[in-house]
Structure 1
């Protein structure tokens, strides 16, 4: 049976990644979130490369198309209520270039972030929630 949901492959042991994904989980049930750090996860069974899946966020669309990095985030935002306008803004070439650069920096520092800490995950979750409230407020203000 073909999966009708978007599939997001994320690192559940990365505190920042886990906090970001938990926000999207609260916003939608149209996306299947797959933790690549679970014992039963096999990259090969999902048609993914083991090394790359631990570096970049991956999203598989309903049609089977694979997105990596910032393109994966845009796919998530396009399918998450309230984030659609932000996804359209990020698709504008200048903003896309900036987002791609910011993501390239993030993947370089991500290995140094703490792993599997409930306290730090909660801290990151609070920061991410505030970040998105500010961004989405700005997007609504900009649309007026």
Structure 2
């Protein structure tokens, strides 16, 4: 089985829950998966991507190739027991088109928008703490 690296947004509640599920599966089966949180600047350097791009879509590196968005999910699911059928299904042309459209136009932008709001709130809270000192 080939090594699979996953770059995800650990501050996103939806993303972190989903990745925690995948991590449990891969750990239980001792699969060669590494999960990198984009909050760690070293992970971003290793991946060669900036924080904003990393937060916009899931990134998966497998067999020397980096997959982004729906292709990243497919690459991840291919190596997870119980999800291989989903990878095959989403690879079907019409399903892939619809999944890609929904992820790129609705889901990913919505999750990214929430990420930006969380970052803004966090920055404002930090600024408020520093100004009170």
Per the shorter chain, which TM-score range? 0.7 to 0.9
List per-residue Cα deviations over 1:34-85 (Å, max 9, x = no partner): 11113x5342332234431121110011x32000000000011101111001
Name 2:109's counterpart in structure 1: 108
Residues matched between the structures, number: 111
Give yes or no for contact 1:15–1:115 (8 Å, CA) kept in 2: no
- Map 1:1-144; keep pairs closer than 5 Å: 5-29=3-27, 30=31, 31-38=33-40, 40-61=41-62, 63-104=63-104, 105-110=106-111, 111-112=113-114
User: Please, which runs of 5 or more residues in structure 2 have no aligned partner?
Assistant: 120-133
| Structure of greater relative contact order (alpha carbons < 8 Å, 6+ residues apart) | 1
Larger helix share, 1 or 2: 2
Give yes or no for contact 1:90–1:99 (8 Å, CA) kept in 2: yes
Separation (CA, whole Å) in 2 of partners of 1:115 and 1:24 = 24
Separation (CA, whole Å) in 1 of partners of 2:17 and 2:65 = 25
Q: TM-score, normalised by structure 1?
A: 0.69
Give yes or no for contact 1:44–1:50 (8 Å, CA) kept in 2: no
Give yes or no for contact 2:36–2:43 (8 Å, CA) kept in 1: no
User: Please, which runs of 5 or more residues in structure 1 have no aligned partner?
Assistant: 117-144
Q: TM-score, normalised by structure 2?
A: 0.75
Give yes or no for contact 1:57–1:72 (8 Å, CA) kept in 2: yes
The alpha-carbon distance between structure 1 residues 82 and 12, as it changes in their structure 2 partners (threshold 3 A), is same
Larger Rg: 2
Instruction: Return structure 1 stretches of 4+ with deviation > 6 angstroms.
Output: none
